[in-house]
Amino acid sequence: MGVIMTLNRIDKESAEVLIEKIKNAVENIVLNIDSVGGSVIWAFKIFEEIRKSKYPITGVVNGKAGSSAVYVLQACEKRIAFSHSKIHLHTVAINEDHHLVDKEMLEEAETKEREMAEFIAERSGMKTAEVIGMMREKRKLSADEALGLKLVDKVVLGEFFNSEAA
């Protein structure tokens, strides 16, 4: 089965811990995802580490994958969602800690949003414009809808993580 790791809120602290665990893994990894998302910058770092991993990583949505967590899920070799899970796509938001938003910050957010949309589109077979449209609509998808859009590879029954799902 492999080692189970968890992805909750994506921030500097949680991302650094997860990245270190991925780097030090000595077997296949199951990434248990129940996350509303979080920092896009840290999601990109997790994404890159997953892509570099020596061992296959299976992402399992066990509740919700929102925002940047959807992007992290797309880096996983296998993408599974429990039938009760929800996938939430939306645009990149500027962190509320930024009191002054300048043109450069907005451009960076747009660039990251486009990069995310392009990879999601590539992985799912959708067009980038389609993904961006869903992000701007703030689409909330059921597990079955996510499967139909190829954002996950498989939907399994159940409400709690179990090793047989992976």
Enclosing domain of residue 43: 3-165
DSSP E strand boundaries for 39-128: 57-66, 78-82, 86-88
Q: Are 2 and 165 in contact (CB under 8 A)?
A: no
Number of domains composing the chain? 1
Convert the pLDDT of each residue in 20-70 to its tens digit.
Answer: 999 999 999 999 999 999 998 999 999 999 999 999 999 999 999 999 999
- Going by pLDDT thresholds of 50, 70 and 90, the confidence category of residue 102 is low
Q: What percent of the chain has pLDDT over 70?
A: 89
Where residue 60 sits, what CATH number does that domain have? 3.90.226.10
Structural tokens at position 129: 């414009």
Report the alpha-carbon distance of residue 20 to residue 91 in Å, rounded. 28
CA dist 36 and 69 (Å) reads 7
Q: Is the pLDDT confidence value at 132 over 90?
A: yes
